[in-house]
Structure 1
Amino acid sequence: MTNATTTDHETIKAWAEKHNGVPGVVEEATTANDSRPLAIIWPENRSDAKLREISWDTFFDHFELRQLALAYDTTDFKKEYRFVTRG
């Protein structure tokens, strides 16, 4: 994975939309504090019952509250990513 890491909202939104992704959350919480993990939902996953689409405003509210950054693949044909703690 060719990595870049960003906290810039416009960069994140543009990268997701370039790959037809939309902001979302994982409905079945898997974290100890029961917070719903953020996700970028790809077209092939939109029917997954565990994922729920949310607005970009809500997505970035949670993104900032949790002090996250997005590590993502910068190649045009890949859409790999993960959320990391800012540090």
Structure 2
Amino acid sequence: MSTSKQTSDHETIRKWAEQRGGVPAKVRGTSSGDDEGVLRIHFPENSENDDQFEKIPWTDFFDKFDAEKLDFLYQEQKADGETSTFHKFVNRE
């Protein structure tokens, strides 16, 4: 059985992403001015849509993450025990 966890802890999010080859990114074409646009954790090694994402520094990622009051919902493992890359951003409660 796979279970989800939720956090806003920067170090937990960064470690989870980096252990899976993920990088902080934004969706191209969604930023304006100082707004980074739509955030994503991008997995370049597993992506056929690499050109849709622009890598950004973790500091910029977390500035936007905190300003939008987001939490990170994620899984460590799939139901079969395989490492999971499932995640999404949700509003903090």
TM-score, length of structure 2 as denominator length: 0.80
C-alpha distance in structure 1 between counterparts of 2:25 and 2:11, whole Å: 16
Structure 1 unaligned blocks of 5 or more: none
Matching residue of 1:78: 84
Q: Could you list the runs of 4 or more consecutive aligned residues of structure 1 that deviate by over 6 angstroms after TM superposition?
A: none
Q: Which residue is 1:36 aligned to?
A: 37
Question: Does the Cα contact within 8 Å between 2:26 and 2:36 map onto a contact in 1?
Answer: no
What TM-score do the two structures reach when normalised by structure 1?
0.85
Return the letter of the residue paired with 1:65: A
Alignment of 1:37-52 (within 5 A): 37-42=38-43, 43-45=45-47, 48-52=50-54
| 2: CA distance, partners of 1:44 / 1:74 | 17
**Aligned-CA RMSD value:** 1.9
Q: Does 1:11 align with 2:12?
A: yes
1:14-68 superposed Cα distances (whole Å, 9 cap, x missing partner): 0001101010001133xxxx96210011022286211000000000000001000
Change (3 A) 1:17 1:46: farther
CA radius of gyration, larger in: 2
Q: Give the direction of change, closer, same or farther, for the CA distance of 1:46–1:59 in structure 2 (3 Å limit).
A: farther
Aligned to 1:69: 71
Percent identical: 35
